[in-house]
Amino acid sequence: MDTEIFKVFILEDQQLDLELNKRQVRKYRPDVLFAVARNRTEFREKLVDFQPDIVLSDYNLPDMNGLDALLYVREYLDGTPFIFITGVLNDEEKVADTILSGASGYLLKENLRKLPEVLATVVEQNSQVMQHREREWERRKSNQTLLAKSIAELREANFLGSDKIVSALQKVADNLG
């Protein structure tokens, strides 16, 4: 098992539910650091600075809903897995909306004992996604470098139509950037 500290951000306004969530997370990884928010203000003040490995969120909170929280995470920490732990998402349409909006999963509070399994699955899936993104980023970076070198060489060349080719390639480079 990984020896790094597992950073979990929990958005939950009920103290008992918060403690139950923490207990189940520790079953997955005992070496965990928690950040907690109980409302929108705390959530926005703490989330980005904390840089969590995963976000666990209730759906209904005093001044926001979980979908708002999910969209905020997607905007500021796009690759961070997000799991709803709630008693409310028993409506199939809401479940579909949350997944389509980028949630990694959801768990009903009555099934909280399954959280360690859900965490293992989501963390593994996210690891694969992040590896793919990193490979894709490296490929794009390599292509941009190759394109920049080619443009530089073409600018030195002096043949009929080279300006048009350089201009077209520069547009491609700008679109990739």
Render pLDDT for 84-116 as a digit per residue (tens, 0 to 9). Answer: 988 765 566 666 666 666 788 888 889 999 999
pLDDT of residue 1: 44
Spatial separation of the C-alpha atoms in residues 59 and 88, rounded to whole Å: 7
For residue 32, give the amino acid letter: V
Span 113-126, average pLDDT: 90
The model's pTM: 0.70
The answer to whether 98 touches 89, Cβ cutoff 8 Å, is yes
What's CA 68's distance to the chain center, in Å? 14
Residue-averaged pLDDT of the chain: 86
The answer to whether 129 touches 79, Cβ cutoff 8 Å, is yes
pLDDT of residue 133: 63
Nearest alpha carbon to residue 102 among 74, 75, 123, 76: 74
Phi, psi of 121 (to 5 degrees): -65, -50
Nearest alpha carbon to residue 68 among 92, 102, 20: 102
Phi, psi of 161 (to 5 degrees): 90, 0
Q: Which residue has the tokens 């950040």?
A: 35
